[in-house]
Amino acid sequence: MPSKDSPHPLAVPITSFGQIGYPVSDNIGTYLGVLYEGKLYETLASGYPGEAIILNLVETYAEIGHEIFWIKDETYREALEAFPHLAAHILQTDLSLSDLYYVSQIVEDFFDWEPEGDGPAHLASLNEPIGSLINLFHQDRYKNAIYAALADKSRSDFYELISMANWFYGEDAFELFFSFAEIQPVQALRNPYWMIEMNDDQRTRLITWARSHMSTELLSKTPFRTQEYSETVTSLLDRIIWKADDALKSVRDRQDFAIWGLCSADKFLAAKAAYLLEELPVSQWPAGSQDVVAALFEEMEPNWTTFKRQGKKGSYTKQKERLGDLLKKANCQNEPEPDA
What is the per-residue DSSP string for 254-317?
Answer: HHHHHHHHHTBS-HHHHHHHHGGGGGS-GGGSPTTHHHHHHHHHHHS-TT-EEEEEETTEEEEE
* 14 and 132 part of one domain: yes
| 4-24: pLDDT as tens digits | 566 888 999 988 887 666 777
pLDDT of 93 over the 70 cut: yes
Q: Into how many domains does the chain fold?
A: 2
Identify whether 217 is part of a domain.
Answer: yes
Identify whether 167 is part of a domain.
Answer: no
Domain that holds residue 312: 213-334
- What gap in Å lies between CA 271 and CA 324, rounded to an integer? 12
* 224 and 320 part of one domain: yes
* 120 and 221 part of one domain: no
At which of 87, 105, 136 does a domain end? Answer: 136
* pLDDT score recorded for residue 340: 42
* pLDDT score recorded for residue 59: 95
Identify whether 111 is part of a domain.
Answer: yes
* Residue 334's pLDDT band (cuts 50, 70, 90): low
* 119 and 221 part of one domain: no
pTM score of the predicted model = 0.86
* pLDDT score recorded for residue 3: 47
Identify whether 207 is part of a domain.
Answer: no
With CA atoms as reference, report the closest residue to 276 among 254, 302, 308, 294: 254
* 217 and 129 part of one domain: no
* 130 and 217 part of one domain: no
* 13 and 132 part of one domain: yes
* 112 and 225 part of one domain: no
Is 276:241 a contact under the CB 8 Å cutoff? yes
* pLDDT score recorded for residue 18: 72
Identify whether 179 is part of a domain.
Answer: no
Identify whether 153 is part of a domain.
Answer: no
* 122 and 219 part of one domain: no
* Residue 309's pLDDT band (cuts 50, 70, 90): confident
| 284-295: pLDDT as tens digits | 999 999 999 999
| 180-220: pLDDT as tens digits | 999 999 999 998 889 988 999 999 999 999 999 999 999 99
Question: What is the pLDDT averaged over residues 29-50?
Answer: 94
Identify whether 69 is part of a domain.
Answer: yes
| 47-88: pLDDT as tens digits | 999 999 999 999 999 999 999 999 878 889 999 999 999 999
pLDDT of 139 over the 90 cut: yes
Number of residues written out for the chain? 340
Q: What is the DSSP letter of 339?
A: P
pLDDT of 114 over the 70 cut: no
* pLDDT score recorded for residue 2: 46
* 121 and 238 part of one domain: no
At which of 74, 106, 136 does a domain end? Answer: 136
* 130 and 227 part of one domain: no
At which of 113, 136, 159 does a domain end? Answer: 136
Q: Most distant CA pair in the chain: distance in Å?
A: 96
Residues 50-66 as b/e (b if ≥16 CB within 10 A, e otherwise) read: eeebbbbbbbbbbbbbb
* 130 and 19 part of one domain: yes
Identify whether 161 is part of a domain.
Answer: no
- Average pLDDT value for the chain: 92
- What gap in Å lies between CA 249 and CA 314, rounded to an integer? 20
* Residue 113's pLDDT band (cuts 50, 70, 90): low
Question: What is the pLDDT averaged over residues 275-279?
Answer: 96
